[in-house]
Structure 1
Amino acid sequence: MSARKVEQDISAPHPRETTAWFGHRDAEMALLDAYRSGRIPHAWLIGGAQGIGKATLAYRMAKFVLAHRNPLAPAVQDAKNLDVEPTDPVARHVAAGAHGGLLTLERTPNDKGVMRTVIVVDQTRETVSFFGSTAAVEGWRVCIVDTVDELNPQAANALLKILEEPPRQSLFLLVSHAPARLLPTILSRCRKLPLRPLSTPDVLGAAAAATHTAIDDPALNAAAEAAEGSVARALTLLGGDALKLHQRTAALLATLPRVDPRELHALGDALGSSDRVALAAFIDSVERWVSARLRADDANANANLPRLARLAEVWEKINRAARDTESYNLERKPLVFSVFGMLAEATR
């Protein structure tokens, strides 16, 4: 398949629709072993970097539990993984977002059709009626929160209440990009399941499956090599000139705290006014740079604590600004100047 064809097919299926599975064998077996023990913890926190398969694992577990309601049944005891055939009625209903035993909490559009930047409390309160109802589906009920990082304070507190007194046969699968930033009270009520970035061959296989691309496609291999273990990042880098934009952004970040306004203007122009793939590539490049600085400073945390705090705070601001820019389709150039201005100030 040509590079041009790859660029046209970069949209990955939603995690609930994903059937191919790569890597994370230990995490998958931890969930399976806990379930078939008959004493599975009611809440799991699946943490790790963006785009490495956390939500896909959550939906994979949900489908397995809903398809095999008796953890002591031979089919569960003999299972080698969490596979559920795509043709299974449970898998089809979950993929369609129409299974009565599964509730997903994720960001939704507001009354004006604009995607919210947070998960609001009214959504979290749906768990009360969901777990309290007996008419739709008997047996296990599963709630996926994708992501728990996006719960606003009121929604987080509402979720905490039901985690403190979980209903019988309830399973909560909380996806988080930054588990350390969650409420300690939520952390304390979850079994932690950290996921590591995928190997490059696993990224390549997952990206090839998502895009229906030959595994030896040169553009796909270049994106997988640059993705640092993230399938979502590989798919982003496949979009148009995203890989070049990533390299251009990385080169400018390397000059911080010095900032060349002319280069920033040119980068802002390259982002365009409505190209979501380009915006995602830009923010992803910034996130990589910030993460690398945080890891480097963390090695000598006592000496660099103020710097660590500044960078972490700046990243939170950048993330919010990026989500607003995408949600409201704002001009990209002011975001570029704002991001580099904040990073320059934080690194001086």
Structure 2
Amino acid sequence: MARAAAEPDEDGIPHPRQTTAFFGHEAAERTLLDAYRSGRIPHAWLIGGAPGIGKATLAFRMARFVLAHPDPMSAEVQSATSLAVPGDHAVTGLVAAQSHPDLLVLERTLSDTGKLRTVIRVDDARKVAGFLGATAGFGGWRIVIVDAVDDLNAESANALLKGLEEPPARTLFFLVSHAPGLVLPTIRSRCHRLLLRSLPDEALGKVLRAATGEEPEPALIAAAEGSVSRALSLSEGPAFKLRQQTMAQLARLPAIDMRELHALADSLAMADAHAFDMVMDSVNAWLSTRLAHDLQDKAKAAQLAEIWDQVNTAARDTDIYNLDRKPLIFRTFARLADAAAG
């Protein structure tokens, strides 16, 4: 596989190139399969949706299927009911080993210091031209996966655009995006859009069982909001426990259990940035729900909007200046108690 470089897996999640299990997006899978076997598949697809729900997994799944079955009119393709390719198929092994000559993957790469770059470099994006200009290694399709197109800067986006504008025959692009509405119009207009929704709880549970071999807690599935990566991240760190503590405190409002609040503040003071963000997300979700409920009461809505601004400004300052988080928690819940009592 021609690709930019290896990206380390995060939170123990197998890379999409290694993932063969697929749940919850059967309609999107069917859309790609039907388009391929029609013989008139669009050459570029923008696969959009929230982070961690399987967009890249679907892109690699489609890539394996096309590379394994290069003739869309073949009996195998015409009778297929999914994009599954057997784990012992040669294409599956080549893609997993990053050695298939007809697949180019653009993604953020590691710097010389070992840190993941914040963007896809223009030098990597320029590899698309050479890749498309060469003869397909196995005489079939050439496929480019960009994971994610959101990580392109202006220069690398322009380099990719040249390939999108006039691709050779039997070329497919799959552009993964967490915010497809923000993708450059020049790129978006050349792609057929495929939107994936967050995984339903049942599908998320199946993915987690396949990934961990364990039965996930219902509360964990609810907190993950349809994202596999979010669920695995929560299950492996203190963020989920802190979220549960926060939710318990929010449920008591306007009453406050000071002993439990001290415990929450003490735990949060030692937690990482991810756990801090999870706690603040829970607080903001509570405020959002209250605001929607009290929207017709202008005075109450104004109070909630002011509290929202105060809480988030204080949280941002705490994060930027590395301030003690404990006072923030006490002040936040005091304001929330006032809002709940009003």
**TM-score of the superposed pair, with normalisation by structure 1:** 0.73
Q: 1:117 is matched with which residue?
A: 118
Identical-residue share of aligned pairs (%): 50
Amino acid in structure 2 at the alignment position of 1:221? P
Q: 2:4 is matched with which residue?
A: none
Secondary structure of residue in 2 paired with 1:119: coil
Aligned residues: 291
Structure 1: how far apart are the matches of 2:17 and 2:188?
25
Matched, 1:231 2:228: yes
- Maintained 8 Å contact 1:236/1:280: no
Secondary structure of residue in 1 paired with 2:17: coil
Structure 2: how far apart are the matches of 1:222 and 1:46?
29
Structure 1: how far apart are the matches of 2:133 and 2:284?
43
> C-alpha deviations, 1:136-160, integer Å up to 9, x for none?
3321011111111111111111111
Structure 1: how far apart are the matches of 2:323 and 2:166?
43
In structure 2, stretches of 5+ residues that fail to align are 1-9, 254-261, 296-304, 333-342
Identify the range of structure 1 (59-68 vs 91-100) with the bigger mean alpha-carbon deviation.
91-100
- 1:179-328 equivalence runs, <5 A: 179-213=180-214, 217=215, 219-247=216-244, 266=266, 269-272=269-272, 279-283=273-277
Structure 2: how far apart are the matches of 1:104 and 1:290?
37
Q: Give the CA deviation at 1:179.
A: 0.7
Q: 1:275 is matched with which residue?
A: none
Amino acid in structure 2 at the alignment position of 1:232? S
- Maintained 8 Å contact 1:107/1:116: yes
Q: 2:339 is matched with which residue?
A: none
Q: Give the CA deviation at 1:221.
A: 3.2
Q: Give the CA deviation at 1:264.
A: 10
Distance 1:61 1:270, change over 3 A: same
Q: Give the CA deviation at 1:171.
A: 0.5
- Maintained 8 Å contact 1:119/1:150: yes
Structure 1: how far apart are the matches of 2:171 and 2:94?
19
Structure 1: how far apart are the matches of 2:109 and 2:244?
32
Q: 1:147 is matched with which residue?
A: 148
CA RMSD of aligned residues (A): 3.6
**TM-score of the superposed pair, with normalisation by structure 2:** 0.74
Structure with larger Rg: 2
Q: 2:160 is matched with which residue?
A: 159
Structure 2: how far apart are the matches of 1:21 and 1:11?
17
Structure 2: how far apart are the matches of 1:156 and 1:290?
34
Structure 1: how far apart are the matches of 2:52 and 2:237?
19
> C-alpha deviations, 1:34-90, integer Å up to 9, x for none?
000111001101101111111110110000000000011010000000000011010
In structure 1, stretches of 5+ residues that fail to align are 1-8, 256-261, 273-278, 301-306, 319-330
- Maintained 8 Å contact 2:245/2:264: no
Q: 1:28 is matched with which residue?
A: 29
Distance 1:248 1:176, change over 3 A: farther
Distance 1:84 1:263, change over 3 A: same
> C-alpha deviations, 1:105-141, integer Å up to 9, x for none?
1111112222101111111101111111126332101
Secondary structure of residue in 1 paired with 2:24: coil
